[in-house]
Amino acid sequence: MKKVTIGIDIGGTNTVFGFVDKEGNILAENAITTQDYAKVEDYLDALVAKINESYDKVKTDIEVLAIGIGAPNGNYHKGTIEYAPNLVWGNYEVQLAKMMKERINYPVFVTNDANAAAIGEMVFGAAKGLKDFLFITLGTGVGSGIVANGELIYGHDAFAGEVGHVIVEKDGRECNCGRNGCLETYASATGLRRTVYELMGKTNLPSKLRDIPFTELTAKKVSEAADEGDKLAIATYEYTAEKLGFALANSLAYTSPKSVFLFGGLANAGKLIFEPTKKYMNKYALKIYQNNVDVVPSGLTGNAAIVGASALAWNELDN
């Protein structure tokens, strides 16, 4: 009997889950559509039915020990989802762990997706054995998980690790959070696009991207253009990296990490983003941190969201 935990990642559109062993292998996985349900009760009934369906296929081989859930605004301390506007059934305080346990009786642990991924990095990924690191997801938004003294920092109210909402420009871009200049407005896929169009206005740099309307531009098109030497696209990465490097430099002064792991769409641009980010981080960092902190790609493979949520549960079982 192989011991496993169930990792569940709740997204606004889909929910994915898998049975994950202690080496991070996904033995079975499946998904349901999050937004098909108006009420959390119906959503959880459907999710548990789908989990049981997968379980029936593998149950002779596995023993389930616990469930880890990554969810928007997931609160580790309370086991709740706290007012998640992206979830059609979840824009209030949802007693997620409690309701889950009523339907499927294993220990249930909840946090947000970036924290779960950070724990995934520690348990299964490139941060194995590291006691102090930053994990940053550069996706549609910017999320983060901070590990110090070998533990994820949840903070007083479980809202720690919001590096995406550190203000890097006091009167900068409008953020969805209602403030201005958050890192997320620059160093996300959305931020990258905003930069392309700002630079179209500010500079005369020639670019094939000038033929593409704002609403049709993807991060992938920007990285492809940059790979082909497109000057505006390259300048866009440089600009993005300056903001990200600055934020990272300031971040080092809090927890003095050994490494910074970058994950997600923007990180997939490889050295286009890593090289200038390292350059600016070292430029802005206090001397004691300069050239002393690694900025490296995440080592998470496969479905990182499932593996991260599973790692949350594994990590709790180990502590």
- Among the listed residues 129, 92, 124, 95, the one whose alpha carbon sits nearest the alpha carbon of residue 21: 124
Query: Using the rule CB under 8 A, which residue among 254, 270, 271, 301 binds a second copy?
Result: 254
Residues 6+ apart with CB under 8 A from 204: none
Contact stretch for a second copy (CB under 8 A) within 40-48, 61-69, 145-153, 216-224: 145-153
| Contact in structure between 36 and 49 (CB atoms under 8 Å) | no
Q: Tell me: does residue 212 bind a second copy (CB under 8 A).
A: no
CA distances from 171 to 34, 180, 181, 190, 248 (A): 36, 6, 6, 18, 19
The interface region with a second copy, picked from 90-98, 121-129, 195-203, 255-263 by CB under 8 A, is 255-263
Closer by beta carbon to a second copy, 110 or else 269: 110
DSSP summary character for residue 250: H
When binding is defined by CB under 8 A, the residue of 29, 86, 104, 159 that contacts a second copy is: 159
Could you say which of 36, 132, 224, 316 contacts a second copy (CB under 8 A)? 132
Pairing of strands 259-263, 151-152: unpaired
d(CA 183, CA 173): 9
Residue 156 in the binding site for a second copy (CB under 8 A): yes
Judged by CB under 8 A, the chain residues 292 through 311 that form the site for a second copy are 292-293
Look up residue 187 and give its two tokens: 């160093």
Strands lying side by side in the sheet with 74-75: 74-75, 80-82, 93-94
Cα gap 251→304, rounded to integer Å: 24
What's the residue count for the chain? 319
Binding of residue 239 to a second copy (CB under 8 A): no
Among 60, 288, 318, 319, binds a second copy (CB under 8 A): 288
Task: Sketch the per residue contact string, 74 through 93, with a second copy: x for CB under 8 A, - otherwise.
Answer: --------------------
Does 131 sit near a second copy (CB under 8 A)? Answer: yes
Whichever of 78 and 231 has its CB closer to a second copy, that residue is: 78
Give the interface size with a second copy as a residue count (CB under 8 A).
Answer: 41
* Of the candidate residues 37, 154, 280, 314, the single one contacting a second copy (CB under 8 A): 154
- The tokens describing 296, both together, are 């490296």
Which among 300, 289, 319, 317 has a CA at the least distance from the CA of 113?
A: 300
Q: Does 55 bind a second copy (CB under 8 A)?
A: no
Find the shortest distance in angstroms from Cβ 41 to a second copy. 26
Residues making contact with a second copy (CB under 8 A)? 131-132, 146, 148-149, 151, 153-163, 165-167, 170, 177-179, 246, 249-251, 253-258, 284, 286-289, 292-293
